[in-house]
């Protein structure tokens, strides 16, 4: 018996595919299932194929399923492009209006269902997709009442008529399948009766930032980062904050720098093309030692690349982008829980180390729905880092020494508005006073001061997350959203007798070389899995001295999210090769 099920709905963009997937996934989540909701879409608003898959499991899953149990098709293209995902005999629900046909090789069971016609009979063509949801509840033997209750709640604001039409659509769809005798075709496992949230990494990152004290967000719209801006735009007015939609990313990053300089917590969120534009600003934050939080939700690059597809190829840009040698901290969440934690802690790190902190997210994490048990607010505390006390400023006889050379490299800052704390923050090299200086000795001492700051982060315990590495012969190293696929692969490999483990790198820079060395010490082989063509993570590890004959790469760069199957195959291929 499978441990997870996948339900896919497909149609043209602009036909409410995402919204329908959201409804189906959300009610299943309320029923106690773990959900992973992922989509295929293109960079346009109307037209073109799109689909949304809801993967349903008892335990948390964070990777796409190789097949689907049920396909709901609103267009013939949906059938043509996706029916290979169905096992022979699996139900393909298609709107009768399409006069649908199956490709010759397809052995699925075509179930024609008059979705459009039923919706018309109800008097509301827009409820067509809800008819399909109703039909699906029958196939999976799900309680209709849970869906009806959700529809009533969701459409309450639109009035009783609309809510009623949606409920009727659910009922009619269900009745249609029941009449065909197909009800209960699949039996889902008993759900674990736990309350969960269903959210994207963008959702949880925005919540983390809010909880972490962020009150200013400046950004320019870009897929797949925009939800962060939109999420905060709805929340900030309650908390006195502001979201500023800027004219470009140059403005967004420099607004953030100005706001942080003046003592607020501010962030920006972008994707590759915008991140490239922000490099100059990030350099300023490094040089002038101003905190700044930048989210880069990676997509396929370079240039416009594939805006709606997966890739993890901004590591080098995040760590080394821009001219000169500036200090940056680069964090890499892989789950919604981690995006929340990083969204909060990035502000603490930025204030503590007075430098830019980049959260390197990616498309699947940013936009795909996942079940979340808890976002533990209590585990985080706001730390504003070193700010000079007013009493100390009052005692000063000379100028405030903003960039005083200290042992740990961190110099307490004054915030504008504090009497006697005036100083110059500048992207020009400066003396400890902040005043411009090009003296060789000063240059050396300031460069060394700034460089020293980040040394403790090399051993930060949260910088890696290792699982099942103690007895592992093969350890898969990864970062970002592919951690779900890697975990699933490790589990399957273990079931097949391969002692596999995984290490997720949570902080890409400074590279946590000592914790990594420890976690990988027992492994006979190390597979570095990443979604890019050049092995950027492996290159960064090499720079940090982590490379030997045990290391291999799994590079995935076709725009899809790495699958557990591919990881399993790569690990197995490694084992075979060595034995031969």
Partner 1 sequence: METVTLQDYKTSEKSWWCPGCGDFGVLAALQKTLVKLGIPPHRVAIVAGIGCSGKMGNYINSYNIHVVHGRTLPSALGVKLANRDLLVIAAGGDGDGFAIGMNHFVHAVRRNIGVKYIVMDNHIYGLTKGQNSPTSDQGQKVKAAPFGNVESPVRPLSLALTAGATYVAQGFSSNQAQLARLIEGAIAHPGFAFVNVLSPCVTYNKINTYDFYKQMLYDLDADKDYLPDSRGRAISAVLEREELVTGLIYHDPGSVAYEDALPGFSQEPLAGRDITLGEAEFEELLASYR
**Which position among 422, 451, 459, 517 is part of the footprint of partner 1 (CB under 8 A)?**
422
Which of 78, 260 has the CB closer to partner 1? Answer: 260
Which of 325, 558 has the CB closer to partner 1? Answer: 325
Q: Is 412 in the site for partner 1 (CB under 8 A)?
A: no
Could you tell me which of 452, 453, 485 has the C-alpha nearest to residue 563? 485
Choices 208-216, 300-308, 350-358, 542-550; region in contact with partner 1 by CB under 8 A:
208-216
Q: Is 368 in the site for partner 1 (CB under 8 A)?
A: no
Task: Give Cβ neighbours of residue 248 (< 8 Å, ≥ 6 apart).
Answer: 220, 277
Q: Are 557 and 306 in contact (CB under 8 A)?
A: no
- Of 61-90, which residues contact partner 1 (CB under 8 A)? none
CB of 427 to partner 1, least distance (A): 6
Whole-angstrom Cα distance, residue 390 to residue 351?
18
CB of 342 to partner 1, least distance (A): 16
Which strands sit side by side in the sheet containing 109-113, from one edge to the other?
109-113, 91-95, 70-73, 4-12, 49-57, 34-40, 369-372, 197-199
Whole-angstrom Cα distance, residue 36 to residue 65?
9
Q: Is 210 in the site for partner 1 (CB under 8 A)?
A: yes
Tell me the backbone φ, ψ of residue 552, rounded to 5 degrees.
-135, 165
Q: Is 21 in the site for partner 1 (CB under 8 A)?
A: no
CB of 322 to partner 1, least distance (A): 11
Choices 179-187, 371-379, 479-487, 492-500; region in contact with partner 1 by CB under 8 A:
371-379
- Of 260-289, which residues contact partner 1 (CB under 8 A)? 260-266, 280-281, 283-284, 288
- Of 305-344, which residues contact partner 1 (CB under 8 A)? none
Whole-angstrom Cα distance, residue 115 to residue 412?
65
Which of 246, 355 has the CB closer to partner 1? Answer: 246
Choices 7-15, 419-427, 498-506, 549-557; region in contact with partner 1 by CB under 8 A:
419-427
Q: How many Cβ atoms are within 10 Å of 313's Cβ, its own excluded?
A: 21
Could you tell me which of 172, 87, 159 has the C-alpha nearest to residue 129? 172
CB of 204 to partner 1, least distance (A): 9
Which of 123, 416 has the CB closer to partner 1? Answer: 416
Which of 104, 247 has the CB closer to partner 1? Answer: 247
Which of 352, 499 has the CB closer to partner 1? Answer: 352
Q: What residue has token string 């194929």?
A: 49
Q: How many residues are listed for the chain in this entry?
A: 580
Binding-residue pattern over the window 374 to 403 for partner 1, x denoting contact by CB under 8 A: -x-xx---x----------------x----
Task: Give Cβ neighbours of residue 361 (< 8 Å, ≥ 6 apart).
Answer: 201, 202, 205, 225, 295, 296, 297, 298, 332, 333, 339, 480
Could you tell me which of 560, 561, 565 has the C-alpha nearest to residue 492? 565
Q: Are 282 and 356 in contact (CB under 8 A)?
A: yes
- Of 537-566, which residues contact partner 1 (CB under 8 A)? none
**Which position among 177, 219, 329, 425 is part of the footprint of partner 1 (CB under 8 A)?**
425
Which of 10, 231 has the CB closer to partner 1? Answer: 231
**Which position among 125, 416, 456, 545 is part of the footprint of partner 1 (CB under 8 A)?**
416
DSSP characters over 508-530: EES--HHHHHHHHTT-SEEEEEE
CB of 283 to partner 1, least distance (A): 8
Could you tell me which of 294, 136, 140, 138 has the C-alpha nearest to residue 209? 294
Q: How many Cβ atoms are within 10 Å of 416's Cβ, its own excluded?
A: 12
Which of 435, 550 has the CB closer to partner 1? Answer: 435
**Which position among 418, 543, 544, 555 is part of the footprint of partner 1 (CB under 8 A)?**
418
**Which position among 29, 166, 171, 354 is part of the footprint of partner 1 (CB under 8 A)?**
29
Tell me the backbone φ, ψ of residue 116, rounded to 5 degrees.
-65, -40
- Of 232-261, which residues contact partner 1 (CB under 8 A)? 235-242, 244, 246-248, 250-252, 254-261
Q: How many Cβ atoms are within 10 Å of 325's Cβ, its own excluded?
A: 11
CB of 158 to partner 1, least distance (A): 18
Label residue 288 exposed, middle or buried (CB < 10 Å: 0-12, 13-18, 19+): buried
CB of 387 to partner 1, least distance (A): 10
Q: Is 216 in the site for partner 1 (CB under 8 A)?
A: yes
Which of 13, 433 has the CB closer to partner 1? Answer: 433
Q: How many Cβ atoms are within 10 Å of 1's Cβ, its own excluded?
A: 4
**Cis preceding-peptide flag for 350 (omega within 30 of 0):** no
Whole-angstrom Cα distance, residue 466 to residue 502?
6
- Of 170-199, which residues contact partner 1 (CB under 8 A)? 195-199
CB of 92 to partner 1, least distance (A): 31
Whole-angstrom Cα distance, residue 308 to residue 48?
13
Tell me the backbone φ, ψ of residue 505, rounded to 5 degrees.
-85, 115
3 state DSSP class of 4: strand
CB of 343 to partner 1, least distance (A): 12
Which of 52, 479 has the CB closer to partner 1? Answer: 52
CB of 152 to partner 1, least distance (A): 15
CB of 340 to partner 1, least distance (A): 10
Q: Is 372 in the site for partner 1 (CB under 8 A)?
A: yes
Binding residues for partner 1, rule CB under 8 A, total 72
Q: Is 114 in the site for partner 1 (CB under 8 A)?
A: no
Which of 281, 510 has the CB closer to partner 1? Answer: 281
DSSP characters over 532-564: SSS-HHHHHHHHTT---TTEEEEE--SSSPPPH
CB of 145 to partner 1, least distance (A): 17
- Of 435-494, which residues contact partner 1 (CB under 8 A)? 435-436
């Amino acid at each position: 018996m499978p441990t997870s099920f996948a339900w896919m709905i497909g149609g043209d963009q602009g036909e409410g595919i995402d919204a329908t997937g959201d409804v189906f996934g959300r009610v299943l989540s309320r029923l106690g299932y773990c959900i992973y909701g992922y989509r295929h879409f293109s960079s346009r608003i109307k037209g073109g194929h799109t689909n949304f898959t809801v993967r349903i499991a008892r335990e948390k899953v964070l990777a796409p399923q190789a097949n689907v149990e049920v396909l709901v098709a609103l267009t013939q293209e949906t059938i043509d492009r996706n029916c290979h995902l169905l096992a022979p005999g699996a139900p393909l629900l298609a709107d009768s209006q399409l006069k649908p046909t199956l490709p010759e090789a397809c052995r699925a069971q075509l179930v024609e269902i008059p979705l459009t016609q039923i919706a018309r009979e109800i008097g509301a063509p827009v409820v067509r997709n809800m008819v399909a949801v109703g039909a699906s509840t029958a196939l999976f033997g799900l309680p209709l009442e849970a869906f009806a209750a959700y529809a009533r709640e969701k459409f309450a604001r639109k009035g009783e008529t609309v809510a009623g039409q949606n409920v009727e659509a659910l009922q009619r769809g269900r009745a249609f399948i029941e009449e065909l005798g197909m009800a209960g075709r699949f039996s889902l496992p008993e759900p674990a009766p736990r309350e969960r949230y269903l959210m994207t990494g963008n959702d949880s990152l925005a919540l983390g930032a809010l909880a972490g004290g962020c009150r200013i967000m400046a950004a320019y719209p870009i897929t797949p980062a925009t939800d962060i801006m939109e999420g905060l735009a709805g929340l900030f007015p309650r908390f006195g904050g502001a979201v500023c939609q800027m004219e470009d990313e140059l403005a967004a990053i420099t607004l953030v720098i100005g706001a942080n300089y003046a003592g607020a917590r501010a962030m920006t969120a972008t994707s590759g093309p915008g991140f490239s534009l922000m490099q100059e600003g990030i350099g300023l934050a490094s040089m002038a030692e101003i905190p700044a939080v930048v989210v880069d939700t990676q997509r396929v690059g370079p240039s416009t690349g594939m805006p709606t597809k997966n890739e993890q190829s901004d590591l080098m840009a995040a760590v080394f982008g821009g001219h000169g040698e500036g200090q940056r901290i680069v964090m890499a969440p892989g789950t919604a829980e981690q995006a929340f934690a990083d969204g909060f802690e990035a502000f603490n790190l930025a204030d503590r180390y007075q430098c830019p902190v980049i959260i390197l997210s990616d498309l699947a994490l940013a936009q795909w729905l996942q079940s979340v048990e808890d976002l533990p607010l209590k585990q985080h505390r706001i730390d504003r880092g070193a700010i000079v006390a007013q009493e100390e400023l009052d005692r000063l006889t000379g100028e405030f020494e903003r960039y005083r050379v200290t042992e740990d490299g961190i110099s307490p800052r004054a915030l504008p508005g504090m009497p006697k704390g005036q100083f110059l923050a500048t992207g020009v090299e400066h003396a400890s006073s902040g005043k411009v200086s090009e003296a060789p000795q000063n240059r050396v001492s300031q460069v060394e001061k700034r460089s020293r700051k980040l040394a403790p982060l090399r051993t930060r315990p949260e910088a890696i997350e290792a699982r099942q590495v103690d007895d592992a012969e093969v350890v898969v190293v990864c970062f970002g959203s592919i951690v779900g696929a890697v975990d699933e692969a490790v589990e399957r490999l273990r079931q097949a007798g391969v002692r596999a483990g995984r290490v997720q790198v949570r902080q890409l820079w400074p590279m946590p070389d000592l914790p990594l060395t420890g976690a990988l010490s027992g492994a006979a082989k190390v597979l570095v899995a990443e979604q890019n063509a050049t092995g950027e993570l492996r290159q960064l590890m090499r720079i940090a001295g982590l490379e030997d004959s045990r290391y291999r790469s799994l590079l995935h760069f076709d725009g899809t999210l790495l699958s557990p199957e591919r990881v399993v195959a790569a690990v197995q291929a490694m084992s075979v090769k060595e034995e031969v």
